[in-house]
Amino acid sequence: MVQKVYKTSTLEVAAANFVFWIAYYFERQVREVMIETMAGISPRSLAGQINQSALDILLDNATFGTKLRIFKKTFLASGTRQGNEVLGFLEEIKRLRNAVAHGDFRDLNYKGKHLGEFDGQDLVIGDFSKILGIDDLGLPR
């Protein structure tokens, strides 16, 4: 149905699905870091749950761009290579997310690879893993 209504290819639909889920994943990760750090207490404790409730309300109403600005000012060590790489990567995820939101399915590429194809998807996951210095983000590959 989506393909007929929006006149998109199977590859474009696959790319949009990937972008949706990868953006959702990273937005949740940013949110968790912000809540744990800003609440000052693990969200698993009672006090953390109370603080988390207040932060949830604020973060639920913030756009992804707003969350990135808060994340940048609060959590990234300014000027560090890793901080700049993380922010650059998250800005690219934001760009891809915005392309999907505005129906620009033909611009769903990452470093020249189309995100409807496994190679493009694997490149996104692999690059972020390298930036963080970890082997596995817990995402299927």
Domain-embedded: residue 137: no
Asked whether residue 29 is assigned to any structural domain, the reply reads: yes
Q: What is the rounded CA–CA span in Å between residue 11 and residue 21? A: 16
According to the model, what pLDDT value does residue 32 have? 78
Place of tokens 């696959």: 14
* 125 belongs to a structural domain: yes
pLDDT of residue 111: 94
Counting the structural domains of the chain, the total is 1
Q: Supply the pLDDT for residue 54.
A: 75
Does a structural domain hold residue 141? no
Q: Does a structural domain hold residue 76?
A: yes
The pLDDT score that the predictor gives to residue 51 is: 65
pLDDT value, residue 49: 61
73: in domain: yes
Q: What is the pLDDT of residue 44?
A: 61
pLDDT of residue 86: 83
Per-residue model confidence as pLDDT tens for the chain (141 residues): 667 777 888 889 999 999 999 998 888 888 777 777 766 655 566 555 666 677 778 888 888 888 888 877 776 665 677 777 888 888 999 999 999 998 888 889 999 999 999 999 999 999 888 877 776 655 554
In a domain, residue 86? The reply is yes
Q: Which residues constitute the domain of residue 83?
A: 2-132
In a domain, 140, yes or no: no
